[in-house]
Structure 1
């Protein structure tokens, strides 16, 4: 609840629900509330014993339950699949200590760790275990931890092995029990700091690796610290923070990350929440480091970001997970070649097991902490009496449960917690009319009615083909390119005459929808400042100037035909991606119930205004962009992206693609064939490097640091050097002199 008070709720989540209901607030059960003011520690077993007994009953015998749909009774059985917690709480729940030299619960007793005598911490750098037995990196001592790697892959610990290891031990629950037997390995029961820069250099010397980064003694009694390849100077830090400071994301996509960024006087990030770090790591970090780190450093960081991006997909392909297991192995040993040993604590090491866990447990959305953290915020909001927080939470939870139960008996047209629409819900459209009029969506904000002379929107496919055939017979010598141009000019008038002729002959070839379309829209149209469609919330560019969100960026995936030269007669058909900025939202009224919504945008699709760099990022230049001849698209065709300032080219923008937050594509065949279409954002791979390429450990474009040797010793002993502030610590008791 606060720094001085810790309340532990225990929540049950049923998983036999569709994705759009699972892990949502109405279906979370508060089964236990462990009171504060301190954390329960190992006493959590005592508190959870009644809950464990009930879960055992549900697994062994079940309970007699009524089926409301069939009005019959059945025996309900349930199983506990897994527990969801942060890593420190994992130790209390599982009984395996997450500290010390065997901190990894997946590698268990086969965990390989090293104790750094200068940094005073356990590190986990044995990721070469996952390489093939004859891989050259296994024998490369200098690039890694100073040893040759001859061990094989750690074997996974099975449930039967756990029972075998602990079967002869009788454990009493509770942390006050003093006579429990000593358990093997890291078993406790049967049931991050800054990486010190100077200490890290001493660790390198002691391990006998990366000699180019060792402290270099000078003739005046001082020592020189060469700048490492991952170092940044103050200007580069300012560039990094400036990119994040200007970030605006779509509505509902993430929090306002820019509020956590400080550029002056000292560039730094502060106050980031867990989901902020999630978005930063997976999407924004690759953009921000594009030009401030050497190629080999940013390449491996971008690959790590992409790994987490793929891991957090809404749909996971088992075949892709096998490839991801191989990818993370290479990423981690590439990181070992670059960053200091003190970087590799157990949290970095755990990345190697995540893809394997996803193969066993499925998509990570059902096992991560974000829904729980949001629910904890709801529980905290129940507290009215801060002297009795647990009582307030229990009372608020019971009151809401009662109201939720009563709401089931209200009429279906009354909005309750059970039928509440999603954040960006549209009406779904009308399937009984012509597809052009079957457009979902709902406007946002005030409506502006104006009189405009827009052309008729002619979208009737069979009549389009018929008109093209007529033009082809009338103009047999014209090229297809000229015929298409002629068609776009004459189709509206031809369709109107075609409908009039049909009505005169009374042949009933024209439906009422086609007649309405041919008559054209009203000259009086409606203009909106915002519109919700396709699961996105769009705003026009002028509205978002004073907003912290960015909802005016549009992408259109189109199948178009083009001609490589004026002489070509056969068009080249292919996919073209158009990137735009929404300027206006217009509703054309064809009849009382038939309407068409258009987006008026500035577009870029090709030419010098769009570039794809070596990192795989698409960048755009909208400066001085002239309006195209066809600036309008159907609102139903629009998808949303957001643009981030390009740190390489001034005034250019980097494109980041998104998908709707509530989009769950249940088409099994699509899920199997093309998992990439389900990614919320496709993160580029970064620049590609040669497998055994020699990397520079020292940045030649940065100045090193000269440090007095006595100061170095004192700082090492008292832990006064702060690497995050650059290699110079402004401390009144130490004097560090910038060297050349």
Structure 2
């Protein structure tokens, strides 16, 4: 509980909420609280769920969960450290009146802040007065409304004068400033607690002001410190990514009843007087709708579905996304939140550039790839403020570029929210401590129903068997050289050992491995689960990709390969070494075996293997990658680097105490003096602002029956 103070290293990078601006300023304002490092920092999470499974859709129970941020990175978001503070019963959700149920919890939190409670510290065998504070809430966007009281249902940039590219109007206003707690209280001065406005009369948007948008004064303002917090309610990255991904995929694939490129969007363009090539055209009893530049043809939809159907991931990286793909109907249906996480961060990034024709690919693909890279960088375990500032600027540009192409209907509130995510990360730190993934999993645990399990920490390898290796006869000079070197090395080390100049372990290793070895189908090392290629061929996962990093300072390149065999060598004295036998890809940088595309993505040619008599590498040197076939060039495969799921890139701790006992809950983590993570955030080119054709003449136009259209809303003149 004191790790955030005693063991955390403050090196300017964001790895934990304690590294954040919000935490540090809170300490400066409330010095008496921060003086006692055992005082507890909490996050409050809430969401509704159906405890009876999918057979009942009318029941909504609301758990209120507290997360402890004093703990180390690898512990604080584990379910075993969550606290179930309230359980609001159904069958209906509490809605905006949730504050009624919060009253006893708020009273306890006020007591924990103002007075504290006597607590026993078992590590020091003493009592102390423990206080606690809630730093922020964790919730999806609808819950944001009922907890904060701000109605969620209802930027100055370089294109502000380009009216024809947007909605026909010039934008000359300034972006709104972020409200402080005092600003919020000044707007809520006329509202008392527990005054709700469910039945408020709707008003037009241009008639509203900020005060009219408040539904209530949140009960959290009863906490004396709430107004001093920099970030009171988090935007949930998990649900935002899910909604953004769904909108993109459904619009690209022209999914019936879900695409944002429908009749209404074309009528909007006509009403706004923009993008004339996409205006509906009257053809007798039908309206003719031209296909937009981002629309995928039937063959392109089929290629995309085939791409998703064939892709394989390492164990624990993702669920089986192929189950969501219907090749016959060219549909992608039912992806879960984590499926959308993988689609948006990885697969869309690899597929989109190979699907669209060359003439529109750059204009459409580039902002989508920037959006993909934005979320990938945002969800990193280690962040830097400099990177986040660049990301905040780039995501604004990318969304403006998308607005020039996609219809106005596409830009609902979820497409707007990414604008705020980098800024929130600068204030509160990595999103892994502030999103709904662990909370959603906790809700699943509450109803004892887990839909999809992943086991990245498995400890049992499959298919163990033993065999004998016979020493081959020496047939050529190279083999004689190897044999002579081994004999010389053994003799040399033996002499040094007799003189007590080398260790017993080196002496045992110099005598060579035993003739009996053990082969495995799988191996867990460096936080990765590896599988042999022949084992993975019959599975829906891909864990055979191997990366061995070269030394850039000496000009050595990275090597990419496929795991063929796993061999454990046994030596005298109980020493063991695990070796990987790999088929290596040709790393010729002349474009034959490996290349880097214009977006900085690495591809290898699977038809070019490296001709080498050195197929082996130490398992401890290997990292894991997986390969994804390029749609445009099937012989080339994208290389996707993975990170161990439960490894944390931490700096060296302030102090090393050899007498500290090992905590059973502590998980291994990587220590790295540098940032250790390449953001992979592709910038947009400012010069590429030419207006392209916004329709695709190579895709037949759609016909809409006039009987399905309310002609009172359509002016065809």
TM range (shorter): 0.7 to 0.9
Which deviations, in whole Å up to 9, do the C-alpha atoms of 1:462-492 show, x marking residues without a partner?
xxxxxxxxxxxxxxxxxxxxxx999978643
- 2:626, 2:695 → 1: CA distance? 36
Structure 2: how far apart are the matches of 1:267 and 1:716?
35
Distance, in Å, in 2 between the alignment partners of 1:585 and 1:166 is 66
Q: CA deviation at 1:591?
A: 1.7
Question: Residue 499 of structure 1 corresponds to which residue in structure 2?
Answer: 493
Asked if residue 187 in structure 1 is aligned to residue 181 in structure 2, the reply is no
Larger deviation, residues 683-692 vs 579-588: 683-692
Answering whether residue 146 of structure 2 is matched by residue 92 of structure 1, we say yes
How has the CA–CA distance of structure 1 residues 617 and 684 changed in structure 2, closer, same or farther, with 3 Å as cutoff? farther
Residue 604 of structure 1 is matched in structure 2 by 585
Which of these two proteins has the greater Rg computed from alpha carbons?
1
Q: 1:663 aligns with which of 647, 651, 655?
A: 647
Indicate the residue corresponding to 1:228 in structure 2: 292
Q: Which residue of 2 aligns with 1:302?
A: 369
- Matches of 1:445 and 1:379, distance apart in 2: 32
Q: Is the Cα contact below 8 Å between 1:450 and 1:525 reproduced in 2?
A: yes
Asked whether the equivalents of residues 61 and 90 of structure 2 are also in contact (C-alpha less than 8 Å), the reply is yes
Distance in 1 (alpha carbons) for counterparts of 2:576 and 2:672: 37
Distance 1:382 1:303, change over 3 A: closer
Q: Which moved more, 1:696-705 or 1:242-251?
A: 696-705
1: CA distance between counterparts of 2:480 and 2:685?
Answer: 47
What SS is found at the alignment partner of 2:462?
strand
- Matched with 1:292 is 355
Structure 1 residues 613, 697: CA separation in 2 closer, same or farther (over 3 Å shift)?
Answer: same
Q: Do the aligned residues in 2 keep the contact of 1:66 with 1:73 (CA within 8 Å)?
A: yes
| 1:543-591 deviation per Cα after TM superposition (whole angstroms, max 9, x unaligned) | 122222111111110238xxxxxxxxxxx92131111111100011112
- 2:565 is aligned to 584
Structure 1 residues 401-449: Cα deviation after superposition (integer angstroms, max 9, x where no partner): xxxxxxxxxxxxxxxxxxxxx9437xxxxxxxxxxxxxxxx76134322
Q: CA RMSD in A?
A: 3.0
1:501 offset after TM fit, Å? 4.3
- CA–CA distance in 1 between the matches of 2:594 and 2:607? 12
2:614 aligned with 1:630: yes
- Select between 696-705 and 10-19 the one with higher mean Cα deviation: 696-705
SS in 2 for 1:291: helix
Structure 2, unaligned stretches of length 5 or more? 1-49, 51-55, 202-207, 219-242, 244-257, 473-477, 654-669
Cα 1:539/1:678, change in 2 over 3 Å:
same
Q: How far has the Cα of 1:609 moved from its partner?
A: 2.5
Distance 2:448 2:532 in 1: 35
Alignment of 1:80-479 (within 5 A): 80-100=134-154, 129-131=155-157, 135=158, 137-172=159-194, 184-191=211-218, 194-195=259-260, 197-217=262-282, 223-264=287-328, 266-293=329-356, 294-381=361-448, 423-424=456-457, 444-453=461-470
**In structure 2, distance between residues paired with 1:315 and 1:248:** 26
Give per-residue Cα distances to partners, 1:331-387, cap 9 Å, x unaligned.
11111111000111111111101111111111000110000000000001189xxxx
| Corresponding position of 1:61 | 115
Correspondence for 1:553: 545
Task: State the secondary structure of the residue aligned to 1:654.
Answer: strand
Report what 1:477 is aligned to.
none
How many residue pairs match? The answer is 583
Q: CA deviation at 1:157?
A: 1.0
TM-score with structure 1 setting the length: 0.74
Query: Could you tell me how far apart the structure 2 residues matched to 1:349 and 1:453 are?
Result: 66
**Matched-pair contact (CA < 8 Å) for 1:297–1:338:** yes
Aligned residue number for residue 705 of structure 1: 702
Separation in structure 1 between the aligned mates of residue 644 and residue 502 of structure 2, nearest angstrom: 38
- Which of the residues 497, 519, 525 maps onto 1:533? 525
Q: Please give the alpha-carbon distance, in whole angstroms, between the structure 2 residues aligned to 1:253 and 1:635.
A: 20
Change (3 A) 1:73 1:177: farther
Q: CA deviation at 1:59?
A: 1.3
Q: 1:196 to 1:55 in 2, by over 3 A?
A: same
Tell me how far apart the structure 2 counterparts of residues 599 and 143 of structure 1 sit (CA, whole Å): 55
Distance 2:492 2:355 in 1: 63
The 1-side partners of 2:682 and 2:279 are apart by 32
Out of 8, 12, 15, the residue aligned to residue 69 of structure 2 is: 15
Q: What is the CA–CA distance in structure 1 between the aligned matches of 2:704 and 2:265, rounded to whole Å? A: 15
SS at match of 1:39: coil
Quickly say closer, same or farther: Cα 1:327–1:376, change in 2 above 3 A: same
Describe the SS at the equivalent of 1:31.
strand
Task: Return the offset for 1:56.
Answer: 1.1
Q: Aligned-pair distance for 1:627?
A: 5.6
- Counterpart Cα distance in 2 of 1:17 and 1:541: 39
